[in-house]
Structure 1
Amino acid sequence: MQYFIFADRFFLEDRVEGPGYLEIVDGKFGSYSKEKPDCHAEVMNYQGYFIAPGLVDTHIHGYKNHDIMDGDFDGLNTISLELLSCGVTSFLPTTLTSSKENLDRVVAMIGRNYTKVEGAKIKGIFLEGPFFTEKYKGAQNQSYFLDPSIPMLQRWQELSNYFIKKIAIAPEREGAGPFIEFAVKQNISVALAHSHATYEEAEKAIGKGATTFVHTYNGMSPLHHREPGMVGAAMNLKDVFVELICDGHHVHPVAANILMNARGRRETVLVSDCMMAGGMPDGDYKLGEFPVSVKHGAARLPGGSLAGSILQLKEAVKNTVQWGIASPEEAIYMASTAPAKSIGIDHEGGKIAEDYAADFIVLTPSLDLVSTYLDGVCRYRQEEEK
């Protein structure tokens, strides 16, 4: 099946074009042209709108009253379906620090079922923990913290049908170096998080093959002029990616801009870190084993600490533009191509390029979501557009 999309602007792999025509052939992207196609194929008219790659959320714990740690397929499928309303077409279900038995159960469930979900595509599992330290533990259960274990990672790989795509650790823990090297050989992206590491310890971890700083600024040793810490490492080390939660609660827009300027927007990854209260009204919820209260757009533990977010990734894109710290092109890149690159799946998704799956979104000029397409088929449309 072949059709064309006409729109005012297209955020293509390496440039912005438009107005013009984008070809869709058998669920994949074809060629782009400024000229109207000389054939009888259908032309879908999105005049006045923008076409962008589907968003890729590489750090998300839940949505619509479901938590990945519940370990049930119905919940996972609901998250997958509901993420289409957030402009997300690919994601990494993200675990929390928990018992070995519970993590065994969750990764095995995802490994058995990831091809069966009906909405946004699951591209792997992100294990956030349990190899962390206490000082910056955030909403992670310290009673399960331990040193990085290669046998445990091997077990999780086997249980998940070798579907672990990303794992976060504290680089100061005993055995971090050999663990990172093993994980990298397994094609697992190693991230650094929930850590009081020094700059030097973070630098050593990057030297071993770690590539990402998780929810930068949050859950890590801060920048100090005599000890740059994890934040300084995130800003200064070469060829790494930095996650940012741009909900206005986790990071001040000025701090986000400082990091983007230091790191570069092509190495900045917008994530939601969303928990089960995303898409739900204010109230009481859970993040893993912890009770969480959601009020005024923020999810907090009883003591007041932030506990994940209720952010939708499409809103992170819009926020960075409205804050004046990114152009639409940069914001979209940080939520699609950069995340895909950070976990090594940019050869199959995260951008509009020939022969890639036609996973894309339709946006208004103010970056409000209109429609979400998977494999060239419209799977979500805002109510007013129906």
Structure 2
Amino acid sequence: MNRTIFISNVTIVNYDQEFIGDLFIREGKIEQLGQDLQVEADIYLDGTSKNWIVMPGFIDMHIHGSAGFDMMDATEEALRGMARSLVKEGTTSYLPTTITQQVDAIEAALKNVGEFVNNEDEAEILGIHVEGPYISTKWAGAQPVGHITEPSIEQFRKWQKLSGNRIKQVTVAPEVAGGFEFVQAMSKEGIVVSIGHSDATSEEVEKAVHLGARQATHLYNQMRPFHHREPGIVGSVLMEERMQVEIIVDYIHSHTKAVNVAFRLKGAEGIILITDAMRAKGLAYGEYDLGGQTVHVTEKGAHLSSGALAGSILTMDQALRNMKQSTNCSLKELVSMSSTNAAKQLKLPHKGYIGEGFDADLVILDMELNIQKTICRGKIVFEN
């Protein structure tokens, strides 16, 4: 049974408002929001003199693993391990993300998520992000080249069925054979189509957007770069208002000035902060596995032996602190980039906002944006 929670005298921040007030939570939902609320609750959290900030819980749309676990392990234990570790960084919901791999490995991972039921002390799985195998061999990055294939609408529909209709996002290179047809078909089926690991020209990006593509996977990384005579994917998505861009703000995947360029051109409403983390997140430096490849994790990030970046070990709370440091953005803008934009992309009417009737997915932070408490669907699941 969910206990009632009363949070008082805190700075409540949404993408469109910021005020000092109170929150009353019952049965996993925000029941009352205001100032000087008079309610009785099982748990009282008083922010007086603590300078607490309350934001909607973070939504990570692109994450492979954490705490020694990977979505591709295709076990219940892996999904539980990830979900329990993510709440420590303020992530209350996420899309576990596949990697290019042999078909049976992808199918096992999809089926595993399809059968998974969240416990109440875990970050909630909102669906699946399929990254690869429908990508460009030229921009494979850490995606195993040997398993890259042309997009197949038929195969993808089979995968969607296997997953229990839980696939919400797909990363694709639209310029490869069958790519444009795939973009159009999947967009019509309500899936967020994200351009990534792609060599698309500016013109091809324009065509993909016309056919329904609405996102770019980890901006700047593994995509045709900007050139003044061929703006490529980078130039095109930065200028295209219909496109959201994922960014990994760890200062390894993107220079602080590159982050700032994106922020100035897209604004907070056009950016989605992601971690793209792999299983080494939260663990000691050393050697780990990603898609059957050895990844060397050091203070310089996660790399294959070839030197290619292999995901990150970034946490969402660190991504917020880095974004704030890079751009001097406001708290409201951070809410857009860490929660609201993802909720809108995924068409989740009850997430990404602190309002009456919304899911009580909340993160309480101090003034330096360090996590103090994480609340998932009305339950305190982490306390610092």
Contact 2:121/2:381 (8 A) holds in 1: no
- What TM-score do you get using the length of structure 1 for normalisation? 0.95
Contact 1:297/1:310 (8 A) holds in 2: no
Contact 1:80/1:117 (8 A) holds in 2: no
**Cα displacement (A) at 1:85:** 0.3
- Measure the CA separation in 1 of the matches of 2:154 and 2:296: 36
**Cα displacement (A) at 1:290:** 1.2
**Cα displacement (A) at 1:87:** 0.5
**Cα displacement (A) at 1:38:** 3.3
- Measure the CA separation in 1 of the matches of 2:171 and 2:358: 29
Classify the secondary structure of the residue corresponding to 1:335. Answer: helix
Q: Which residue of 1 aligns with 2:216?
A: 213
Q: Which residue of 2 aligns with 1:29?
A: 30
1:281–1:31 Cα change, 3 Å? same
Q: Which residue of 2 aligns with 1:354?
A: 356
Which residue, 158, 161, 165 being the options, matches 2:164?
A: 161
**Cα displacement (A) at 1:179:** 1.1
Q: Which residue of 2 aligns with 1:279?
A: 282
- Are 1:38 and 2:46 counterparts? no
- Measure the CA separation in 1 of the matches of 2:278 and 2:290: 6
Give matches, 1:113-262, under 5 Å.
Answer: 113-115=116-118, 118-262=121-265
**Cα displacement (A) at 1:323:** 2.5
Classify the secondary structure of the residue corresponding to 1:52. Answer: strand
**Cα displacement (A) at 1:297:** 4.6
1:40–1:79 Cα change, 3 Å? closer
Classify the secondary structure of the residue corresponding to 2:22. Answer: strand
Classify the secondary structure of the residue corresponding to 1:227. Answer: coil
Q: Which residue of 1 aligns with 2:54?
A: 51
**Cα displacement (A) at 1:117:** 7.5
CA deviations on 1:280-322 (whole Å, 9 max, x unpaired) are: 0100001111110011150011021211000001110011112
Q: Which residue of 1 aligns with 2:267?
A: 264
Greater alpha carbon shift after TM alignment, 81-90 vs 20-29: 20-29
**Cα displacement (A) at 1:181:** 1.9
**Cα displacement (A) at 1:108:** 0.5
Classify the secondary structure of the residue corresponding to 2:138. Answer: coil
**Cα displacement (A) at 1:350:** 1.6
**Cα displacement (A) at 1:2:** 4.4
- Are 1:311 and 2:314 counterparts? yes
**Cα displacement (A) at 1:13:** 5.4
Q: Which residue of 1 aligns with 2:379?
A: 377
- Measure the CA separation in 2 of the matches of 1:41 and 1:177: 54
Classify the secondary structure of the residue corresponding to 2:278. Answer: coil
- Measure the CA separation in 2 of the matches of 1:348 and 1:3: 19
- Are 1:83 and 2:82 counterparts? no
Classify the secondary structure of the residue corresponding to 2:317. Answer: helix
Contact 1:7/1:50 (8 A) holds in 2: no
- Measure the CA separation in 1 of the matches of 2:68 and 2:219: 26
1:50–1:297 Cα change, 3 Å? farther
* Regions of 4+ moved over 6 Å: none
Q: Which residue of 2 aligns with 1:16?
A: 18
**Cα displacement (A) at 1:178:** 1.8
**Cα displacement (A) at 1:264:** 1.5
**Cα displacement (A) at 1:240:** 1.1
**Cα displacement (A) at 1:186:** 2.0
- Measure the CA separation in 1 of the matches of 2:41 and 2:290: 48
Q: Which residue of 2 aligns with 1:6?
A: 8
- Are 1:70 and 2:37 counterparts? no
> Quick one: percent identity of the two aligned structures?
34
The residue type paired with residue 29 of structure 1 is I
**Cα displacement (A) at 1:114:** 4.0
- Measure the CA separation in 1 of the matches of 2:72 and 2:213: 25
Greater alpha carbon shift after TM alignment, 198-207 vs 38-47: 38-47
**Cα displacement (A) at 1:182:** 1.6
The residue type paired with residue 377 of structure 1 is K
- Measure the CA separation in 1 of the matches of 2:172 and 2:353: 29
- Measure the CA separation in 2 of the matches of 1:293 and 1:332: 33
- Measure the CA separation in 1 of the matches of 2:262 and 2:325: 17
The residue type paired with residue 38 of structure 2 is D
- Measure the CA separation in 1 of the matches of 2:60 and 2:195: 17
Which ranges in structure 2 are unaligned for 5 or more consecutive residues? Answer: none
- Measure the CA separation in 2 of the matches of 1:298 and 1:324: 22
The alignment of Structure 1 onto Structure 2 pairs a total of residues equal to 379
**Cα displacement (A) at 1:39:** 4.1
Contact 2:321/2:369 (8 A) holds in 1: yes
- Are 1:320 and 2:323 counterparts? yes
The residue type paired with residue 14 of structure 2 is L
Classify the secondary structure of the residue corresponding to 1:262. Answer: helix
**Cα displacement (A) at 1:99:** 1.1
Classify the secondary structure of the residue corresponding to 1:156. Answer: helix
The residue type paired with residue 96 of structure 2 is P
